[in-house]
Structure 1
Amino acid sequence: MVKKTLVLGASLKPQRYSNFAINRLIDSGHEVVAFGLREGEVGGINIDTNLMPYQEIHTVTLYLNPSRQKPFYDYVIALQPRRIIFNPGTENPEFQNILKQHNIYFEEACTLVLLSTNQY
């Protein structure tokens, strides 16, 4: 099943986990959209620097530390994703409580591990 995924905190730097994740998601056949601080392209995917009104987002995978997530709370909730993945280092009890209030499923996991073990 293709799961349209927003990589929030995408980086152009090839050594960053968000960059790895974009490429692995593409390789696994998922549709990918990405938001980051710098415009560019990773694996043929444009990184948006403006928050876009993406439609039918299944998963938001976070690559922002908790202190950088707060400005995105309302945006992520408005996308009505089916799942949020808090990758290692992004765990955020405040945001998780807000997601619970909006009945949005979340998990603390690693997107790369989920993909490599066919659990994505």
Structure 2
Amino acid sequence: MAIDANKPYDDENIFAKILRGEIPSKKVYEDEWAYAFHDIAPQAPLHILVIPKGRYVSWNDFSASASSEEIAGFVRAVGKIARDHDLVEPGYRLLANVGENGGQEVPHFHIHLFGGKPLGRMISA
């Protein structure tokens, strides 16, 4: 099911429930700004989801509404997770799906961090 990135935040989405501890996750990292965990259906040898702790529907919402501190803290957390997993060399991919055409399925902004193998081209035409 695709998500409308402009709809209000839904406190009952699966990532909100994970943040509240109502649904278990395999935690990788947590700080004041971000929570990261292994994807339950990995698309690469390493597939981590990184979510902000704030109530943001999409990248669009996060980049427009989050404070400078939240944005900086979240971006630094994503970088730290990549470094902690030795992904800088040979490389990794970050992906944020936004809205229906972008394939967003959960109405809570999140970054997919992929690594552990050559990932090939991003999008085929």
Q: TM-score, normalised by structure 2?
A: 0.30
Greater fraction helix: 1
Which has the higher Rg, Structure 1 or Structure 2? 2
Greater fraction strand: 1
Q: TM-score, normalised by structure 1?
A: 0.30
